[in-house]
Amino acid sequence: KITQAVLSGDLEGVRTNVQTALEWNYDVTDILNNGLLKAMHIIGNRFERNEIYVTELLVSARGVHEGINVIRPYLMERGESLPRRGKIVIGTVAGDLHDIGKNLLGLMLEARGFEVIDLGVDVSATAFVEAVSRHQPDVLCLSALLTTTVKAVGSTIEALSGVKQSGHRVNIVVGGAALREEIASALGADGYAPDAVSGANLIEEMVQREQAYSS
Ligand code: B1M
C-alpha cells in the first residue's frame, strides 16, 4: 500500500499507510526499503523507459520524502538516525540560476537514503571547495544549464584538484542541459548523467564501489 501510494502521488495515502505500518510494529527499515524506496526504484525504471514524465518523477520523490518525514521521529526516539548510504554535496555552478533538475537529483538521492547537502545555485568554485573540505562527501554533483556556465564547471573541477591532492577522494559527477559525456570527460569529471535517474544510479554505483574497495 505504501509503494502504491508513492507511485500514484497520493501523499495522504503515504502518510496514513506509513503511520499504520508503524502502529502495527513493522520495522522502520522495512518500511523504508520495502515500501518507500521500492517505489522510487520502480518509478526510476519507468522514467528510463520513457513511460512517465519528469513531473511524475517529482511527485513520487515528494511522496518518498513525505514517508521519510513520518518515520524520522520514530528513529530519533530510538536514538537512531536514518541509515545513510553515503554523503553528497550538490549545487548549480557560478553564474547559473537553474535549479529544477538539480533539486530533482537531490530528491532522488535523498529518497534512496543518501545524505544530501545542497549548496543552492550560483555556487562559486571556492564555495564548492570549502564544502568538500568541510563535509568530506563521497560524491560532488555539479549542475549547469547554460552554455556560458560550462566554463564554471571546468574551473570548479580544477579548483577541486587541490582537495583531491590533499588526500580526500571525492568523485565529481556533472549534468544538466549544457553538458554532454564528451564535454564532461574533457573537463575532468569522474562521471556524467543526462538525467536525474541515471545520475542517481551512477552515484549509487560509484559509492557502492568505493565502499566495497575500502572495506
Ligand atoms: Co533558462 N534557459 N535562462 N530559465 N530555462 C534554458 C536552460 C534554455 C535552454 C532556454 C532556451 O533558450 N531554449 C536557455 C539556455 C541556452 C543555452 O545556454 N544553451 C536558457 C536561458 C538562455 C536563460 C537566461 C539566460 C534567459 C535570459 O535571462 N535571457 C536566464 C539565465 C539566468 C541564469 O541562470 N543566470 C534564464 C533564466 C531562467 C529562469 C530563472 C526563468 C528559469 C529557471 C528557474 C529555476 O530553475 N528555478 C528558467 C527555465 C525554467 C528554463 C527552461 C525553460 C527549463 C529548465 C528546467 O528547469 N527544465 C530551459 C529550457 C528547457 O530546458 N526546455 C531554460 C526541467 C528540468 C527537470 O530539467 O534542469 O535540464 P533540467 O534537468 C534535467 C537534466 O538536465 C538533468 O536532470 C534533469 C532531468 O532529469 N540534470 C542533471 C540537471 N542537473 C543535473 C546534474 C546531474 C545529472 C543530471 O549530475 C550532477
Mean pLDDT of the chain: 90
Question: Closest ligand 1 atom, CA of 177?
Answer: 75
Of 185, 214, 207, which Cα lies nearest the Cα of 115?
A: 207
pLDDT digits (tens, 9 = 90+) for 173-194: 999 999 999 999 999 999 999 9
Residue 83 confidence class, pLDDT cut points 50, 70, 90 = low
Indicate whether 56 pLDDT > 80.
yes
Ligand 1 lined by 118 (C-beta under 6 Å): no
HSE (side-chain half, CA atoms, 13 Å) at 191? 22
Indicate whether 79 pLDDT > 60.
no
Please give the distance, rounded to the nearest whole angstrom, from the Cα atom of residue 100 to the centre of ligand 1. Answer: 8
Helix axes 100-111, 196-214, angle to 10 degrees: 50
Tell me which of 145, 173, 198, 203 to substitute to probe ligand 1's pocket, judged by most ligand atoms within 8 Å of the beta carbon.
145
pLDDT digits (tens, 9 = 90+) for 109-154: 887 889 999 999 999 999 999 999 999 999 999 999 999 999 999 9
> What SS3 state is found at 148?
helix
Percent of the chain surpassing pLDDT 90: 64
Residue pointed to by grid coordinates 555556487: 123
Residue 81 confidence class, pLDDT cut points 50, 70, 90 = low
Q: Which three cell numbers stand for residue 192?
A: 556524467
- Nearest-CA residue for ligand 1 atom 17 is 146
What single-letter DSSP state applies at residue 9? Answer: T
Please give the distance, rounded to the nearest whole angstrom, from the Cα atom of residue 39 to the centre of ligand 1. Answer: 28
